Structure 1
Amino acid sequence: MHNAELIRRDLAAVWHPCTQMKDHEWLPLLPIARGEGVWLEDFDGKRYLDAISSWWVNLFGHANPRISAAMKDQLDRLEHVIMAGCTHEPIVELSERLLALAPPGLARAFYCDNGSSAIEAALKMSFHYWLNSTGRADKCRFVTLANSYHGETLGALAVGDVALFKTTYAPLISEAITVPSPDAYLAQPGETPADCARRAAAALEATLQQHAGEVAALIIEPLVQCAGGMRMYDPEYLRLARAACDRHGVHLIADEIAVGFGRSGTLFACEQGPITPDFLCLSKGLTGGYLPMSVVLTTAPIYQAFYDDYTKLSAFLHSHSYTGNALAARAALATLDIFEQDEVIERNRALTAHMARICEPFRAHAHVAEVRQRGMILAIELVRDKATREPYPWQERRGLTVYQHALDRGALLRPLGNVVYFMPPYVITPAELDRLAEIAWECIELATLDPVPFGDINSDGPSGWLA
């Protein structure tokens, strides 16, 4: 097999996600034959540093021997069984361990297939809780942050606020109540990130005072709005949002699908509040990047609102065919073993500090408005004008230039519009981070030239080169 042959076959049969397929008339696909650690290799032997953890899922490297061994062992025992009426050892152990690690007060684990599915389940649980416990069908709306993203299914889209994903499907989705984001990039002159968080929390308080009677839950991405451009905010907002929800009788849903499992610097971002949400949604890194799986962790009182005689028709009738898959559960258990045995969170602190040091020079770049970091996520915001923070027009697809040149240099970067970010596997070395920063600098130098030296800027809509 060679790259060209696989590309030809792919373009005759496959429809890729988050992609304008017409681009591939001139932009080659990247065929991957194998992976090892932070590296991916194509069929012609060229290697690429996976700087984005293959859509943020891979924590401990490709073909990790410990996770692979656990899955091979599980293959000879049980691959899958229906979770309605059945159970198995890996899912019980995984539930016990997740609940022991999670913020205090979370007591039950409900499994789904992917991140969007977990969001859908949490939204339905919240509404259904209020219906079961108080008989109130009017608490059916949700509050979401500006610039938030929670997934692609219709319920998840409804509580998101990234127009690129949402606008087309507006006739199909319910209307959420949007409140200002605590995004520190939007701080007013003289404001600290904590000040910005408090200002946004005051707006949330006013909204809940007005709408609490019809609101089931507030949904947030704790600390980092990932698909919204890796925008980051102060943990003060978590504390204030939790308190506001408690005052007004509204649930708090924490979408840690992207930021959970160490990405934010703690195992769960909510720890930095510290807060306990009513629903904690997890996916992506849950299985170390091996298999799709997600989970909603929730509290005993919420679980009890569904626990009744069958004839009351109060059960949560929500399911997925592969819920609680045994292979995925074993991968997740192996992932938790690595966290426990290798002191990953502590080790990541050194990588986080190194990433910060080597990216400090980007702050002085004439077309970089901000370098921001939260744990193992670092983002570099490109702008046309540094003084005014005027962005580049999306039609110019500057991020696509970064993507193309990075591949030429042996790195997989996939900017979010004009935001270049690093979100690498935790097994990356300082030397590999150095190489990544060097490549990113070259890419940004090229991407901020006029005219743009790579790419096709004659597109019909906002760039789909996202994460």
Structure 2
Amino acid sequence: MTLIERDQKVIWHPFTQQKNRQSPIPIVKGKGTLLFDEAGNQYIDAVSSWWVTIHGHAHPYIAERLYQQALQLEQVIFAGFTHEPAVALAEKILPVLPGNFARVFYSDNGSTSTEVALKMAIQYWWNQTGQPSRNKILAFNNSYHGDTFGAMSVSDRSVFTLAFHNLLFEVIFIDTPTAENIAAIQATIHEQAGSIAAFIYEPLVQGAGGIKMYENHLLDTLLATVKSHDIICIADEVMTGFGRTGKLFASEYMEEKPDIICLSKGLTGGTMALGVTACTDRIYQAYVNDDKLKTFFHGHSFTANPLACTAALASFELLERDHCLQKVEWITGENKLFAKKLENYTGIKNIRTLGTILAFEINEGRDEYLNNVSVIITQKALQQGIYIRPLGNTVYIMPPYCITHEELQTVYQTILNLL
């Protein structure tokens, strides 16, 4: 029995229609930008395996660090214990975060990191006032913050959340800011500020919502308005963190900084699951209290897993090396040049790029996740040795930083061939 046949008997794959589903590709090896299937075919991973594998697959430095850590300590409860990888990672991350962050809370993935942030912000006001009056969340339309219930609640009401709409808590949704709507958004905030505990946002790029981008100066204006009402600002940098937008964090593009930041995906270089929710001292001090009821009652069995923290440390050390950030700058420049080429092609629209991210829409059917053009493009690209996974009719690339000039040009040319 082949791996595909065995898979189809026992596995339920994510974000995949189960009836008449395409057979998955059996991957047996990864190296750098490349994935290899059991038949020996290779594919350039142009989306970094769901935006996580920033240094490429099977990086020897991360693998060696993991091996050494596994021989020493693989897991320990993090309530009442601590360990070197967790402390060292927090010491490494806090000084480079965009703002005055003081504490790191570990969880398991991007969705749980936003879940932690929401609970942290809401309980902050409960601890401060003892009253639940300031308990609403402000969020963007078209946003996506994860698949757990809190994260779904603050995400756009879409196909991802459709079956659960009547179970999600009430959220004040606003559009991403434009020159035309910023005044109306500010008026909404002024009107309802007294009930708003926090504002959660994906800075500059809305990922799963279709790689939608908006201007940094407008977000800065909006953040200033939010902060003027003492509303806690939560930056969901799960996707945008660790160089994706051309800077280490997307929040560096703004003068106004978040009070809480959520990290995952590139945090471990794509090697293991890990989430970080970092907060300022102001947030943390609301939980430093003699009253035991003001404890933050949240945790996970694998909180601060030593292996995951070690992978994150190794990934961060690779990111700090000059050649890695230079590669980010190089991909940024190449994407801008390719975007210019795309302007000569008909049948596409809304060409945009920020850092290592490039996206556009196929002008066919509705602009939505269920647009079947994604299946067609994925299949045709795979036939040419490229893995891209459009979000509906939104075609995008988000390659590992280790991609070579030849590989990146091959990705570009494949896209042009498809067009």
Normalised by the size of structure 2, how large is the TM-score?
A: 0.97
Question: What are the Cα deviations for residues 407-427 of structure 1, in whole angstroms up to 9, with x where unaligned?
Answer: 111111100000110001000
Q: Which one-letter code corresponds to 1:431 in the other structure? A: E
Matches within 5 A, 1:14-413: 14-24=11-21, 27-182=22-177, 196=178, 198-309=179-290, 311-384=291-364, 391=366, 397-413=372-388
Root-mean-square deviation over aligned CA pairs: 1.5
Contact 1:143 1:177 in 2 (8 A): yes
**Higher mean Cα deviation, 48-57 or 274-283?**
274-283
Measure the CA separation in 2 of the matches of 1:118 and 1:200.
30
Question: What are the Cα deviations for residues 320-375 of structure 1, in whole angstroms up to 9, with x where unaligned?
Answer: 11010100001000011111223422331112111221342222221111210010
Structure 2 unmatched ranges of 5 or more: none
Q: CA deviation at 1:22?
A: 1.4
The structure-2 alpha-carbon separation of the partners of 1:396 and 1:70, relative to structure 1 and needing over 3 Å to count, comes to closer
SS for the counterpart of 2:159 is helix
Instruction: Say whether 1:427 aligns with 2:402.
Output: yes
Residue 441 of structure 1 is matched in structure 2 by 416
The structure-2 alpha-carbon separation of the partners of 1:374 and 1:162, relative to structure 1 and needing over 3 Å to count, comes to farther
SS for the counterpart of 1:70 is helix
Contact 2:104 2:277 in 1 (8 A): yes
Measure the CA separation in 2 of the matches of 1:204 and 1:218.
13
The structure-2 alpha-carbon separation of the partners of 1:424 and 1:394, relative to structure 1 and needing over 3 Å to count, comes to closer
The structure-2 alpha-carbon separation of the partners of 1:417 and 1:395, relative to structure 1 and needing over 3 Å to count, comes to closer
Q: CA deviation at 1:162?
A: 4.7
Measure the CA separation in 1 of the matches of 2:370 and 2:262.
34
The structure-2 alpha-carbon separation of the partners of 1:395 and 1:213, relative to structure 1 and needing over 3 Å to count, comes to closer
Contact 1:379 1:422 in 2 (8 A): yes
Q: CA deviation at 1:210?
A: 1.1
Q: Which one-letter code corresponds to 1:231 in the other structure? A: K
Q: CA deviation at 1:214?
A: 1.1
Measure the CA separation in 2 of the matches of 1:110 and 1:205.
31
Measure the CA separation in 1 of the matches of 2:94 and 2:219.
20
Q: Which one-letter code corresponds to 1:293 in the other structure? A: L
Q: CA deviation at 1:98?
A: 0.5
Which structure has more relative contact order (CA 8 Å, sep 6+)? It is: 2
SS for the counterpart of 1:41 is strand
Q: Percent of aligned positions with the same letter in both sequences?
A: 42
Q: CA deviation at 1:207?
A: 1.5
Contact 1:238 1:270 in 2 (8 A): no
Structure 1 unmatched ranges of 5 or more: 183-195, 385-389, 446-467
SS for the counterpart of 2:10 is coil
Question: What are the Cα deviations for residues 286-332 of structure 1, in whole angstroms up to 9, with x where unaligned?
Answer: 000000001011010110100112x4410000011101010000100
Q: CA deviation at 1:250?
A: 0.8
The structure-2 alpha-carbon separation of the partners of 1:330 and 1:418, relative to structure 1 and needing over 3 Å to count, comes to same
Instruction: Say whether 1:12 aligns with 2:9.
Output: yes
Contact 2:339 2:352 in 1 (8 A): no
Question: What are the Cα deviations for residues 62-97 of structure 1, in whole angstroms up to 9, with x where unaligned?
Answer: 000111111111111111111101000010010011
